[in-house]
Structure formats: structure tokens, C-alpha cells
Amino acid sequence: MANITTLSDAIATHVRDGQTLALEGFTHLIPNAAAHEIIRQGRKHLTLVRMTPDVTYDQLIGAGCADKLIFSWGGNPGVGSLHRFRDAVERDYPHHLEIEEHSHAGMATRYVAGASGLPFGMLRGYVGTDLLKYTPNISTVTCPFTGEELAAVPALTPDVGIIHAQQADRHGNVGLWGIQGVQKEAVMASKASIVTVEEIVDELDSRVTVTLPSWVISSVAVVPRGAHPSYAHGYYERDNDFYIGWDSISKDRDSFDAWIDRHIHQTSDYAEHLRLVDQEEGVLA
Amino acid sequence: MTAPVIAAEELVATDDEMMMIVAARELRNGVVCFVGIGMPSTAANLARHMHAPDAVLIYESGTIGAKPTKPPLSIGDGELADTADAVVSVPEIFTYWLQAGRIDVGFLGAAQLDKYGNINSTVVGDYDHPKVRLPGAGGAPEIAGSAGEIFLMLRQNNRAFVEKVDFLTSVGNAEGGDSRQRMGMRGKGPSVVITDIGVLRADPASGEFVLTALHEGKTIDDAKAATGWDLRISDHVEITAPATDEELRKLRALKAGEL
């Protein structure tokens, strides 16, 4: 059964220095509050897994939490570069970041293999690409029935999988709807899992399309708007202005550090950060 | 942002608008199209509002048959899910739908392209010490491999149209000839590149892209100067039909979220 607790307790209980973490959410339901809490608690030497490291991972990387990134597309969607990610890869700032780079299809296959308890997954992919030269854990397997050669990639089995969802019930059963990404796979592939939710309800909404039973989840924490600046379908929209504003905040090392300090280290929780964003100075604060 | 009031005499397409309109014309009605974000998405939605109302737009966020009223900023904006015929998981979109061969056209952009339509979206410069770290592969390698054919659109200049891509992210017509087929690729690869200068089509035998059309006011010299390889020119270069008032009005309304 999932333990229903606070986000700070869930992160303190499950997340350790040096672990492999997967924070998933494909544009929708990105667990940004959880990422802030990881930074606030000062976790280091993490291997971060995520198909689309966007603003969330830009913050974790820029704050020096990550030693390694496993990913398939690292950008600020519709805006441009992730400047902290680029500074790490291009100039080893704040320190060297090892990267392990796949395609989306490959990453999805790796999560499915992990969730399925298989050592690897296979796909028609990667043929002829330079990813084969630079990513050592892409291999091939021959179909025993047809002889066709297919790409093989190892299962992803993170120490902790972290997602955001719309709802949990009082038993900790989690329900989400809208774009579902690889959230279910990330939870099922991981050894422990944390789910932040918009609210706890008596009964999950009839719109729920993905249900994760309480007993496959380690901890559930209520964090209203915990996906912001991403969105939670049926609750709030994507804050596109924040993503656009992030470009200038993150371009400069000092303005990034000041932002992290003000919005994470000097706040006690995500609600306080959201109040800063909403009331005082807007997204650029 | 409010849309400007457009007087009739102001209906002249910019280079980017022309590229999007010409790209939209390439999509036939009923096509099942896996759409990349940005300009391909805008062009595909314009097609849906013009001649191709039954085009099925699929985004890698798992939204099938999405009908956004404005160009989404991200590949997973909420409106894509709200307007879709079906919303499936990311593993499913890449397996049951793309890998299984249900996509007619993959519609992609690129940072760099070579004469065979091979794509780089990973790094400029050396991989380990890149000059510019680009976002990376995303869905493109498997879209390029498994979609029936690939349409590409990007602005033409000799930083983007290069002799050799710095990193081969997604295989186009490989090394030309039948090299792509010999790799076991299921889709036939890139067939057209739409740019802000003109249209390049793959020569069926060699797989090399050849300039086959120029947009109004553009010249062969413009195209050659904007290409980092010795661009082949078709014996019969067409002049693209100018943008119609309807195309331009709809494109601008689409971008303003007023369609």
C-alpha cells in the first residue's frame, strides 16, 4: 500500500545520493514540485533518466544534482535550448555531465522492458545512425523465427520513479488522464515510486484512463499545481509564458543561481514558490 | 496577441509563410501523418483547413487524429489530447502505430541535412566536445525509418544544407542508390524537402535531392548559394504557384488561434 505523506517526507524517505531516478511526464503532468524538493534537499551524484529533459531537468542539472543523464530529447519545447544542460555538456559547468543518449522509441522500449521484468527490449530502430557509435548500450538481437535483426536496448530499472497525476483516492490508488506518456511504465519499472497528485478524492474521476493501484506505489503526496509550469489536464493549463521566460533566466549562470536560491532554497515548499510566481513578480521572478 | 487587420494588397507571403503553404500542399487528403512540432505541425494543420480535411495528424505525445485550433507550442499541449480521436501511451504510439507501418508520411524538420536527406538534430561539431549541443533524436530516427515516406521542411542556408552532417541522427536516403533498402528500412525515406527558396525532390535512382521548383522571386543562384553541396538542378525547374489569399488568410488565422 502506498504511504500517503508529504512531498518532503517522500523525497527524504526514498531518494538518496548516487541513485538513478526517473521523473516522467511527456509534456503533461511533469513532476516539477518533486524536482524542486530534490534540489531543496541537496541530493547529489544522481543519474537522471527522462525521455524529454526539459525545464525540470535543466534545473536539476544546473543545480549540480546530476552526474549522468539518460535521455532522448533535451530541449525547451517550442522555445529552444536548455541552457543549463548545454552549459554542462559544452563546458562541463557546474561539472561534467555524462550522457547516454537514445531515441524516444528506444527509451520507451527500455521502460517497457523494465516494467515487464525483462532484461532488454527490442525494436526496429537505430539502424544506420551515429547513436550506435556513441551509445554503447545499443545492440542487436536476431529473431529466432524469421532471422530478422532487430535493435536491442537494456531495461531501465530506476531506483525511484517519480510522476505527477491528477488524483489519488484515500487508499492511495492513483488515477490520471490526458496525455499519459510513459508514466505508468516509469512507475512499474522502478524499485520504488513517488506520485504527487493534485488532490485526494473519495472516488477517482470517471475520466481516468490510467489507474495505478496503491500497492505498486511507495508514496503518494498531495501537491496542488505540482506539475506547473507543465499542466494537469482538467485542472490547469500549460504555463507557456513560464517556458518562454525560462529561456532568459537560464541563459546566464548568475541569474539561474539567483532564481534557484529564491524559488527553491529560500522557500519551504512548492506552494511558496508558486505564490512567488503568481503574486509578486510573475514568471521571470 | 491580436491579429493584424490585413488589407487585400498586403496579402504577400513571407518566405516562411510560403514554405509552410507549399509544404501544406504536399499533404493529400486522408494521409496519415506523423507530425514534428514547429513548422511541420503548422503546415499539416493548414492542409487540414484547406484541401485535406481528412488528414490524420499524429503527434509523438500519443495523440492520434489531433485537430488543434492553434499551433501547439509543445508536442503535448492539452488541446492535442482534447481534440484527438484517441490518446495512447508513448510506448504504444511508437510500436502499434509507427513501427507497425500505419503511418503514411513522417513530417520532420532538421538542423542539418545532406544531399541524400540524412538528418542531424544532435550536435554541431564533435560529439564529445560539441560547438552546439542540439536537443537530440527524439522520435525522428524511427519516424525516418518506419513511416511510408518522409517530408522535410527547413530554411535553406549553407549551415543547414551541408556536404556531410556532423552527426547522423536519422537516416534519409543513406549513401544513395539502394543503400537505404539494403539496411532493411521499411519506409522509402525522404522524398521531398520544402524550403523557403524552393522544393527539392529525391531522384528516384540515386536518392540525391534535386532542385525541382523555385518560389516566386527566387533564383537558381539563390538556391545554389544556400546549399553547402554542389546542388543538382532539374532540367525543368517549375515556379511555385503563388500563395492564394485563402491560404494566407487561413495560415495567419491559424497562427493567431482564430481558425
Q: Looking at residues B114-125, what average pLDDT do you find?
A: 97
Given a cut of 70, is residue B2 above it in pLDDT?
no
In this complex, do B78 and A112 lie within 8 Å of one another by their Cβ atoms? no
Of A74, A103, A131, the CB nearest to B139: A103
Residue B2 domain-assigned? no
How far is A17 from A44, CA to CA, in rounded Å? Answer: 5
Q: Give the three-class secondary structure for A259.
A: helix
List pLDDT tens digits, range B53-100.
999 999 999 999 999 988 888 877 888 999 999 999 999 999 999 999
How far is B43 from B25, CA to CA, in rounded Å? Answer: 9
Query: Which chain A residues contact residue B80 at CB under 8 A?
Result: 179
Counting the structural domains of chain B, the total is 1
Q: Does B89 sit within 8 Å of A185, measured CB to CB?
A: yes
**One of B17, B26, B60, B247 is an active-site residue; which one?**
B60
Rounded to an integer, what is the distance from CA B140 to the centroid of its chain? 11
- B208 counts as catalytic: no
For B72, the domain range is: 8-255
User: What CATH class has A3-42+157-274?
Assistant: alpha beta
**Integer angstrom CA distances of residue B229 from A40, A41, A83, B115, B156:** 51, 53, 31, 7, 12
Among A241-245, B10-14, B192-196, the least confident range: B10-14
Name which of B74, B79, B118, B169 to mutate to probe chain A: the one with the most chain A Cβ atoms within 10 A of its Cβ.
Answer: B74
Lowest mean pLDDT among A22-26, A222-226, A277-281: A277-281
List CB contacts of B35: < 8 A, sequence separation 6 or more. B41, B44, B57, B58, B59, B107
Whether the per-residue pLDDT at A226 is higher than 90: the answer is yes
| SS3 category, B127 | coil
pLDDT in tens, A156-214: 999 999 999 999 999 999 999 999 999 999 999 999 999 999 999 999 999 999 999 99
3-state SS, residue B214: strand
Which of B89, B122, B132 has its CB closest to that of A182?
Answer: B89
Cβ-defined contact of B76 to A111 (cutoff 8 Å): no
Q: What value does the mean pLDDT of chain A take? A: 96
Residue A147 has pLDDT above 90, yes or no: yes
Question: ipTM for the complex?
Answer: 0.95
Task: Band the pLDDT of A282: cuts 50, 70, 90.
Answer: low
User: What CATH number is attached to the domain comprising B194?
Assistant: 3.40.1080.10
Give the pLDDT of residue A285.
45
Return the H-helix or E-strand segment holding A254. helix A253-260
Per the listing, cell 495567419 goes with B252
- Per-residue HEC secondary structure of A142-196 comes to ECCCCCCEEEEEECCCCCEEEEEEEEEECCCCEEECCCCCCHHHHHHHCCEEEEE
Q: For A33-37, what is the mean pLDDT?
A: 98
Rounded-to-integer distance, Cα A81 and Cα A67, Å: 20
Model confidence pLDDT, tens digit, residues A75-117: 998 899 999 999 999 999 999 999 999 999 999 999 999 999 9
The answer to whether residue B153 scores a pLDDT higher than 50 is yes
